[in-house]
Amino acid sequence: MSEKVISDYNGYDYKKIFWEDADREYEDQADRMAIRKLLPKRMAKFADIGGGYGRLANEYLKRAHKVIIFDYSKTELQQAKEVYGDKIETRAGDIYDLPFKDDELDGLMMIRVTHHLKDMKKAMAELYRVLKPGGVAVIEVANKRTLPKIVRFMIGKSKVNPFDKKVANYKEISKDGFYNYHPKYVEEIFEKTGFKTEKVLSVSNFRNKGLKKIFKTNNLVKMEDKAQSILAPIRFAPSIYYKLRKPEE
């Protein structure tokens, strides 16, 4: 395993523990809503990078002729195969050394992965390499500059400064820590890598236990639909989605 791989989900039932046994229906619907808005309608060859057990597969199966789910965890990829069978191909490996040829993919997405990445620059370079000129990448980034994090910093409950561009490493979350990023930091990486940003969405804007109890999931999802575009300019939510394109040569 690469020293830069943060979380190894082999042998861990991510599907059941993180999604099915937890109150995350709102977050799931928010992700799906954003993906529908950003992914191209038609793609020849598409890969879900860090796609795990295929939670979001129904959002892209009808859009691509060939679908590949890539993940480090063979446990999750086996779960995906059990559900989708011949509709998908699975490939296991290291995100910093993707098992794809140069310019192989017409489209790709990477959702809920960046918070595991120690080396964002190297990961983005690999995504750029495997994408065809003119191809689209939909990337979700864990945002360090959210309102709750700003409040915690201002009142002295957090030492993480949400306003600077330094990568936030929350070591208390796990042994190795999870990473959050300032939007400007990742946007500079996208630009230096060669990507062109076509659209940005603010996603999971109401990710809060209290709001879930008050408004209920269905109402939050309705609010989310408009908020994704309205709040995008200020990069408000814990998840920021980017539609990136590799320029034609």
Give the domain 14-142+171-243 fold: Rossmann fold (3.40.50)
Taking a C-beta distance cutoff of 8 angstroms, is the pair 228, 37 a contact? yes
| Average pLDDT, 10 consecutive residues per value, the chain (249 residues) | 58 73 88 98 97 96 98 94 97 95 98 92 97 98 93 92 90 67 97 98 93 91 96 96 95
pLDDT at 1: 42
What type of residue sits at position 153? F
Taking a C-beta distance cutoff of 8 angstroms, is the pair 122, 4 a contact? yes
pLDDT at 39: 98
Give residues with Cβ within 8 angstroms of 62, minimum separation 6.
none
Buried-exposed string 207-243: b where 16+ CB fall within 10 A, e elsewhere: bbeeebeebebeebbeebeebbeebbeebbbbbbbbb
pTM for this prediction: 0.92
pLDDT at 153: 93
Angle at 35 between CA 249 and CA 79, to 5 degrees: 105
If one counts every other C-beta atom within 10 angstroms of the C-beta of residue 132, the result is 18
pLDDT at 180: 93
